[in-house]
Amino acid sequence: MDKVKIDNNVFIPMPVTLVGCLLKGKANFMTAGWVSRVNANPPHIGIGIHRSHATPEGIIENNTFSVCFPDRASILRVDYCGIVSGKDTDKSKLFTSFYGELKTAPMIEEASLNLECSLVQTIDGASNYFFIGEIKGAYASPECHENGRINPKKADFLLLTMPDNTYWTLGESIGQAWRMGKQLVNK
């Protein structure tokens, strides 16, 4: 085996998101990358948040949260949201917030895509909460949306890798999923 064994605490490529919640009645956003869909129908999404953050308090109090996908124009503010805590910093004026039907899941006008979620289940990990929410509303910017679909390049989705702590844009398309591999079928 031609492999090097590295530390088990491996970070994987992550989407750059801002998780929104209400904290003491005000909109709060924290940068988060531990995000994945967890169930198809109903549409559930999960977010892993370290217990030390302010955000779990707001999510548990209101049973709602948002997951917002910013573009590169917001990257300074996005990174700022990962540096300062809602425990001692008011981040409510950093972006133009809006609310959907849930009323307590603040979302971001400047973000390409916003999901408002109602809390369904909380996995109580040793160091992190993993909050699973049902997506109750999805709001896209008109300019990154075509025929009901998000165009990922126009949405300008961002990625984060660690421990090099680098923000990345999407690169080049290298092919179509569920299509290009067909040439290997029955070979």
- Pairwise CA distance, residues 7 & 17, whole Å: 26
| Between 63 and 98, CB nearer to a second copy | 98
| Between 25 and 76, CB nearer to a second copy | 76
Q: What is the size of the binding site for a second copy (CB under 8 A)?
A: 101
Shortest distance in whole angstroms from residue 26 CB to a second copy: 18
The dihedral formed by the CA atoms of 14, 34, 108 and 42, expressed in degrees to the nearest 10:
110
Site residues for a second copy, 147-176, by CB under 8 A, read 148-152, 157-176
Tell me: does residue 11 bind a second copy (CB under 8 A): yes
By C-alpha distance, which of 57, 12, 56 is closest to 33?
12
| Between 25 and 148, CB nearer to a second copy | 148
Site residues for a second copy, 113-132, by CB under 8 A, read 113-115, 121, 123, 125-128, 130, 132
Site residues for a second copy, 28-57, by CB under 8 A, read 31, 34-46, 48, 50
Shortest distance in whole angstroms from residue 115 CB to a second copy: 6
Tell me: does residue 88 bind a second copy (CB under 8 A): no
Tell me which of 60, 63, 72, 122 binds a second copy, using CB under 8 A.
72
- Pairwise CA distance, residues 21 & 56, whole Å: 9
Do the beta carbons of residue 155 and residue 144 sit within 8 Å? yes
Q: Residue type at 27?
A: A
Do the beta carbons of residue 20 and residue 65 sit within 8 Å? yes
Tell me which of 60, 79, 92, 122 binds a second copy, using CB under 8 A.
79
Judged by CB under 8 A, which stretch of 22-30, 56-64, 66-74 contacts a second copy? 66-74
Shortest distance in whole angstroms from residue 152 CB to a second copy: 4
- Pairwise CA distance, residues 107 & 98, whole Å: 5
Q: Determine whether 68 is exposed, middle or buried from the number of CB atoms within 10 Å of its CB (0-12, 13-18, 19+).
A: buried
Do the beta carbons of residue 96 and residue 108 sit within 8 Å? yes
